[in-house]
Each structure stands twice: as C-alpha cells, then as structure tokens.
C-alpha cells in the first residue's frame, strides 16, 4: 500500500504569518492528493486538492504544490487567521487513476495565535 | 441534504460485546469507506467497498467485519470489542465516473469507547 508521512505534527504561528505543512508519499502511481481540514469535534472536509499533472494550485489564501520527482507535496496558508486553527490532513489516492484507496497522513495541528 | 450519516454517534461497550455501526449515504456514491482516527495516527482505512455486494480490506482490518448489502449502506461490525478498538470511526463515500469524482465526503463520526 501507500505510505504518507506528514510534518510537522504541531504548528503554531502568529496571526498574519504563513504556515507550511509538508507530506511525502511512497507510491509513484499515486496521482491525486487532497488536503482536509478538521475542526475540533467535526468531520474532515476537503479544502484543496491537486492532481499529478499539475505542479501548483491556489485558492485564495491556500495553495498546494506537488513535486512528483521527489514524491512530496505541501500545503501553504498565507495571512493566517484564528479560524484557520484546526487539524490538517494530507492524503494520497493509491492505485493510479482508478485507485480505490486513500491513505492519510498523521495530521498537523495548526494553532493561529491572535 | 443529509450526505453521509452515521449511527450511533456515541457508544460505550464492555470488552467482548458486539456492535454494528451503520453508515448511510444519499448521494448514490459507489465507493464507501470506514476509517478510524486515533491521536497521532491520523485516519487509517479499515475496510472499503467499491460497490453493492463488494468489500475489501484496508490497512487495519483485524477485529472488524463489514457488509454492503445495499448501495447506500455500509455496516461496520465489531464481533468481540477490545479496548484497543476505542476510537473515533468515520464513514466516507465518493462517486466514480467523473473527473472530479475523487472527493471523499465524510460522516460526522462515531465515538466508541470499549471498557
């Protein structure tokens, strides 16, 4: 199966600063990489995703970059706000374009300090 | 617009008891998943299903069984609960056939404590 590693496990930033979370994956056939945000006591929800034929994708204050050669991808949050405080999970779709399984990283707990 | 619904939301079991978690989705999705979430471990795949009548093992299937008798329902069973199965369980689903069909939709979670 796929192995997804995520760092750091915890991250504290001052409001307005940027936050970066990094993930690596092991299977070169993985081709879809979503990021989920989970607020305390809530379900994970998709915030952004990227496919293997794209190197970068941006949506307002969040962006994701992908380096297929190195098998790593990163989440970037700019101008952080207190409501960005949550646990963030990266994931990789295992098994190519028709893959059935998604493997998740261990999560990053982000705290934005007002 | 219910999406993915899990029942029960909270349950306390004694070691050795059995129980079933029910997941229902109203989005006509083909794929359904059961994950468990533990502190520092992220979301780990227990079992999944690619369609009615099919099931497959994920990363951590031991101690669990599943069934997908109807397309909209995916049941997770614990035959003999153990304290190591204390966790938050998330059901999820996704469709197939469209380029944007990769999005996984999660249920609200089921908090299970085994004492």
> What are A67-103's pLDDT values in tens digits?
999 999 999 999 999 999 999 999 998 765 556 788 9
pLDDT at res. B107? 96
Per cent of chain A over pLDDT 70 is: 96
Distance from CA of A103 to the nearest CA of B (A): 7
Identify the contact set of chain A against chain B, taking CB-CB distances under 8 A: 1, 6, 9, 32, 34, 42-46, 49, 89, 91, 93, 100-107
A49, B48: Cβ pair inside 8 Å? no
Residues of chain A in contact with residue B107, where contact means CB-CB under 8 angstroms, are 43
> How far away is chain A from the Cα of B29, in angstroms, using its nearest Cα?
13
Q: How far apart are CA A1 and CA B58, in angstroms?
A: 9
Report chain B's mean pLDDT, rounded to a whole number. 92
pLDDT at A2 over 90: no
Q: Residue B1's pLDDT is what? A: 60
Chains A and B form CB pairs within 8 A to the count of: 48
pLDDT at A106: 94
A54-83 core/surface letters (b: 16 or more CB in 10 A; e: else): eeeeeeeebbbbbeeeeebbbbbbeebeee
Which residues from chain A sit within 8 angstroms of residue B43, using beta carbons?
Answer: 44, 89, 91, 104
Beta strands in B1-115 (DSSP E): 4-7, 10-13, 19-25, 31-38, 42-49, 56-57, 65-67, 73-78, 87-94, 105-106, 110-114
Highest mean pLDDT among A25-29, B40-44, B61-65: B61-65
The owner of tokens 């190519």 is A96
Q: What is the pLDDT of residue B24?
A: 97
Q: Which of residues 26-85 of B touch A (CB under 8 A)?
A: 31, 33, 35, 40-45, 48, 50, 56, 58-59
């Amino acid at each position: 199966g796929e192995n997804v590693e995520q760092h750091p496990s915890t991250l504290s930033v001052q409001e307005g600063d940027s936050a970066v979370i990094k993930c690596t994956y092991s299977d070169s056939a993985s081709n879809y990489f979503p990021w989920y945000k989970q607020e305390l006591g809530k379900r994970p929800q998709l915030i952004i995703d990227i496919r293997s034929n794209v190197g970068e994708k941006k949506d307002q204050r969040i962006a994701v970059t992908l380096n297929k050669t190195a098998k790593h991808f990163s989440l970037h949050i700019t101008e952080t706000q207190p409501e960005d405080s949550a646990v963030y999970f990266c994931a990789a779709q295992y098994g190519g374009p028709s893959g059935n399984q998604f493997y998740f990283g261990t999560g990053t707990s982000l705290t934005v300090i007002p | 617009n219910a999406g993915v619904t899990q029942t029960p939301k909270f349950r306390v079991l004694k070691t050795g008891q059995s129980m079933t978690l029910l997941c229902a989705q109203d989005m006509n999705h083909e794929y359904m998943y059961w994950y468990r979430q533990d502190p520092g471990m992220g979301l780990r795949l227990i079992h999944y299903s690619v369609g009615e009548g099919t099931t497959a093992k994920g990363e951590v299937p031991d101690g669990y069984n599943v069934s997908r008798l109807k397309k909209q329902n995916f049941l997770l069973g614990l035959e003999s609960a153990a304290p190591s199965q204390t966790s938050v369980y998330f059901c999820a689903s996704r469709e197939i056939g469209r380029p944007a069909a990769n999005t996984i939709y999660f249920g609200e979670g089921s908090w299970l404590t085994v004492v």
